[in-house]
Amino acid sequence: MPPGFAPDDFWLLLPEILLATTAVVVLGADALLPRGRQGLAAWIALGGLGATAAALVPLAGTHATAAGGLMAVDAFAGFFKLLFLLAAALTILMSTRYLAVEGARPGTYYVLVLCATLGMLFMASALDLVTQVIGLETMAVSFYILAGFLKPNRRSNEAAVKYFLLGAFSLGLLLYGMSLLYGLTGTTMLRDIGTALAGLERSRWLGLAVILVVAGLGFKIAAVPFHMWAPDVYEGAPTPITAFLSVGSKAASFAMLLRLFFEALPAANADWGLLFYALAILTMTVGNLAALTQSNLKRLLAYSSIAHAGYVLIGVVAATSVPQVGIKAALVYLLVYAFMQIGAFGVVTMLRRHDVIGEELKDMSGLFTRNPLAGASMLLFMLSLGGIPPTAGFMGKFWLFSAAIDGGYYWLAVIGVLNSAVSLYYYLRVVVFMWFKPQATGSPVVLGPAMGVLLAVTVVGTLALGVYPRALFDLADVSARALGAAGIATMVR
């Protein structure tokens, strides 16, 4: 048994162990399965994700640390892990037909999706700077390869190069900030850093560390002004990967951000609260304004995804004065966003056919008559992203804005509402194309069984959480409470 590894840890880390095992099995299956049967790899991957989710169930209500205090097994991590597993499963469902149409051999594709998910699980649990970075890189390296997976496609290549270079630089900034934190406190454990900083004078080094860490994580959540890579990478990457990137990677980075700032840096919350305040306003406004002029669907959804990171940041800012309410609102919104964003990308994936690339706004033309089910689903996702009741998007935004008001950030709430109004223009533009424009040419848009399941899950999620949000609120409440109770206590003045 490795040092620092207690027998109980096996049960606490069983989800991660299962997922890593599945990745290895899928890798072997790809090599051993005969040509033509390689589609089976997707089903093995889905089974592994299901088993991992099942292994999370007995851990509900646990509040423990594993691997010598490096990993937390609590409701906060559990909430995010379920979100990642759901996003990964939906991504795989979206990918099967897409890869066939693109003519790409699945090969290591599903292995990399699983590895990225594994990294996310670590990011949600890690209680130590080094473990956090290892999780982050496990995820990011998988995504660099996945973004460039369509090798003959120049845009996919370009996306991979850009994502890799900027990912490397942002990691440099983040690590520099983390090394300063280590230098100031002499420890890499988040909770020990929190205790050490509580007794420390405010210094300019701490300020620099906070700025660098915010910049490094700002890249990962694609907050303005660190968002420039997002539209290019989202446009060039294979569409299912774009969906996974915009939901999974973003949620994982928020999980890491919340852990880091609320467990290790509650003492400096006046500094980073102000930084996030500025970032939230910039991110919402720039994201929404830039989305107005896009004619490419993937770029439009990329800018919309930037704007949504800004909305979630409202929750983070609100949490500096009302921690419980703010974190809860951010968690609720991240889950709601997963359903509507993956659903919207699912419909975009359906538009990709042998004869049509299907990424332009005009490819949406007449979708209501060509495939009413896909059209109606897309309408729901657009309304939800825009924040119209009775969808989940409305409930999510309502909670975020009321959290801002609870925390006394009235202007943030006002700017958030104004931004939602602006965003309606481009979401409804998609609807106008679907409903009022004459049908686009090309082969029919078909709904396969995998896409049927995906649309069913996302539509039900988007509607159910909007009509009956109680269960989600209770879940998010328990999860937010689990996040560094000690750290939060020192913040409430």
Partner 1 sequence: MPRRKSGPPSLGSLGALSAVGIAFVLALLFGFLIGRALDGWLGTSPLFLIVFFFIGLAAGVLNVIRTASAVTRDDRK
Chain positions contacting partner 1, by CB under 8 A: 151-154, 157-158, 161-162, 165-166, 169, 173, 204, 207, 211, 215, 225-226, 228-229, 232, 275
Q: Which is nearer to partner 1, 184 or 228 (CB)?
A: 228
Q: Cα–Cα distance between 271 and 201 in angstroms, integer?
A: 13
Q: Residue 84 has which token pair?
A: 């990642």
| DSSP conformation class of 33 | S
User: In the complex with partner 1, which residue's Cβ is closer, 25 or 228?
Assistant: 228
Beta carbon nearer to partner 1, 69 or 207: 207
Which residue, 40 or 175, has its beta carbon nearer to partner 1? 175
With CA atoms as reference, report the closest residue to 442 among 344, 345, 364, 334: 364
Closest-CA residue to 185 (of 200, 168, 164, 202): 200
| C-beta of 154 vs 354, nearer to partner 1 | 154
Nearer to partner 1, 230 or 457 (CB): 230
- Min dist CB 170 to partner 1, Å, is 9
Please give the Cα distance from 171 to 191 (Å, whole number). 22
Question: Which C-beta is closer to partner 1: that of 13 or that of 210?
Answer: 210
Shortest separation between residue 204's beta carbon and partner 1, angstroms: 7
Of 286 and 329, the one with the shorter C-beta distance to partner 1 is: 286
Q: What gap in Å lies between CA 256 and CA 71, rounded to an integer?
A: 12
Shortest Å distance, C-beta 278 to partner 1:
9
Residues in Cβ contact with 49 at an 8 Å cutoff, skipping those fewer than 6 apart? 19, 22, 85, 88, 89, 92, 114, 117
Which CB, 231 or 248, lies closer to partner 1?
231
Distances (CA, A) of 263 to 82, 188, 316, 486: 21, 12, 13, 8
User: Is 354 exposed, middle or buried (CB count within 10 Å of its CB: 0-12, 13-18, 19+)?
Assistant: exposed
The string over 375-391, giving b where at least 16 C-beta atoms fall within 10 Å of a residue's C-beta and e elsewhere, is bebbbbbbbbbbbbeeb
What is the nearest approach in angstroms of partner 1 to the Cβ of residue 400? 24
What DSSP assignment string belongs to 196-229?
Answer: HHHTS---HHHHHHHHHHHHHHHHHHT-TTS-TH
Question: For residues 299 and 311, what is the distance between their CA atoms, to the nearest angstrom?
Answer: 19
Give 72 or 224: the residue with its C-beta nearer to partner 1: 224
CB-CB contact of 216 with 177 (8 Å): yes
- Shortest distance, position 317 Cβ to partner 1, whole Å: 16
Taking the complex as a whole, the smallest distance from the CB of residue 91 to partner 1 amounts, in Å, to 25
Sign of the Cα pseudo-torsion (388, 461, 435, 430, in order): positive
Please state the closest distance from residue 26 (CB atom) to partner 1, in A: 25
Q: Give me the least distance between CB of 200 and partner 1, in Å please.
A: 18
Please report how close the Cβ of residue 168 comes to partner 1 at its closest, in angstroms. Answer: 9
d(CA 210, CA 228): 21
CB of 456 to partner 1, least distance (A): 34
